[in-house]
Amino acid sequence: MKTASRFTPPACWYRVIFIRGYLSHQQATAVKKIAIFVDVQNIYYTTRQVYGRQFNYRNLWQRINAGGEIVSAVAYAVHRGDDKQLKFQNALRQIGFTVKLKPYIQRSDGSAKGDWDVGITIDVMESARDVDTVVLLSGDGDFDLLLKKINEDYGVTTEVYGVPALTANSLIAAASLYHRIDEDLLL
């Protein structure tokens, strides 16, 4: 009487199965690469207008860093040259931000404009291919197309932090995830 022989796969099959399992485990446990872009003027004026308080960049850094590796963080600001602003810029650098400055332009309504939209857009486009997540701090609706574009072209997750009452609905809709700036992110 013949017994049915069991099929034994070749040794190379085990290697393929192991490698595939190892790679999928590596992919599942890979640390997210995160890039942060801060429209400092927008965040300053919106938090001051709604809450009468300043934004807490250190708490933001800790929150984002808990979700992955921050590989790039840029804060775009205006340069007035006063001591208070220089201290603020140095504090951002100590946290880990690269600070990019433009000359201070005073508007007739008293607000300041640094015209950083194009600079932010260029930097986001250049980093998007190398990161998993782009975090934008701004309420400016002009960035909605940028977020859609990098999500479509690079599959990047896009996150927006903004003050609820002053963040454009189009920007919120374009983001993969929207974070309200509220009490826990204020000084």
Q: What is the pTM of this model?
A: 0.81
Please, what is the Cα angle at 102 between 146 and 122, to 5 degrees? 25
Instruction: Look up the CATH number of the domain holding residue 66.
Output: 3.40.50.1010
Identify the three-state secondary structure at position 154: helix
Q: Does residue 15 form part of some domain? A: no
Cα distance between residue 184 and residue 14, in whole Å: 51
Cα distance between residue 37 and residue 84, in whole Å: 22
Q: Does residue 21 form part of some domain? A: no
Q: Does residue 181 form part of some domain? A: yes
Q: Does residue 79 form part of some domain? A: yes
Q: Does residue 87 form part of some domain? A: yes
Domain residue limits at 41: 30-185
Q: How far is CA 27 from CA 13, 21, 32, 49, 131, in A?
A: 21, 10, 10, 43, 14
Q: Does residue 107 form part of some domain? A: yes
Structure tokens at 171: 């920007």
Q: Does residue 7 form part of some domain? A: no
Domain count, the chain: 1
Q: Does residue 22 form part of some domain? A: no
pLDDT by residue (tens digit) across 95-146? 999 999 998 777 777 765 668 999 999 999 999 999 999 999 999 999 999 9
pLDDT by residue (tens digit) across 46-91? 999 999 999 999 999 999 999 999 999 999 998 887 899 999 999 9
